[in-house]
Structure 1
Amino acid sequence: LGAREALEIATLGGARVLGRSDIGALVPGKRADLVLWDVSELPAAGQWDPVAALIFCAPIRPRAVYVEGRAVVQDHHLLTADTNRLNEQARAAIARLAD
């Protein structure tokens, strides 16, 4: 399975599985979210193909995320929620599960 084939399965294939014709590709008339990654950072080191770096290398934190035109992540920072509060809530949930 090549990187571009995996990307197509994740985007266009995902849209087909969901029965959605309004998503899955960056073309006029379709709804779109956009994620920007910097594949020059360490997790992608050694990968010559930027698509393969995203698909096959270690996870790369997105530099920017836009959902329907609204910035959600900028310079690796989540803009829409308090990450400290999310961490506290997650730790509390884990503690409850551990009891």
Structure 2
Amino acid sequence: MTMHDRGRARLRAGLGVVGTLLMTCGIAAILFAWWGTAHTGYVFEQIPYLVSGGLLGLGLIGVGGFLYFGSWLTKLMEEQRQTAQALRTLLEERSAD
């Protein structure tokens, strides 16, 4: 495994971990916003919970989802490169015969 391959694997793992953490934090922010909204009867007290927790949570889930999707795409590209390299090697061996 070359240094470039290790860097790619580290990037893919990092994207997946950061994406998962951001999505988890987003879900937690939405749950905290729901909890704060559910425990007050006044609308003027509910709106800040919804804006700060709900919208922040949705943003974190969106960004985390994109990062996790990027990790998945990086894995697919890596597998595709390996398959193409194996196919290229087989074709070169076949044409050498």
* TM-score, normalized by the shorter chain, greater than 0.5: no
- Larger strand proportion, structure 1 or 2? 1
TM-score by length of 2: 0.22
Q: Considering only CA atoms, is the larger Rg found in Structure 1 or Structure 2?
A: 2
- Larger helix proportion, structure 1 or 2? 2
User: Using CA pairs below 8 Å that are at least 6 residues apart, which structure has the higher relative contact order?
Assistant: 2
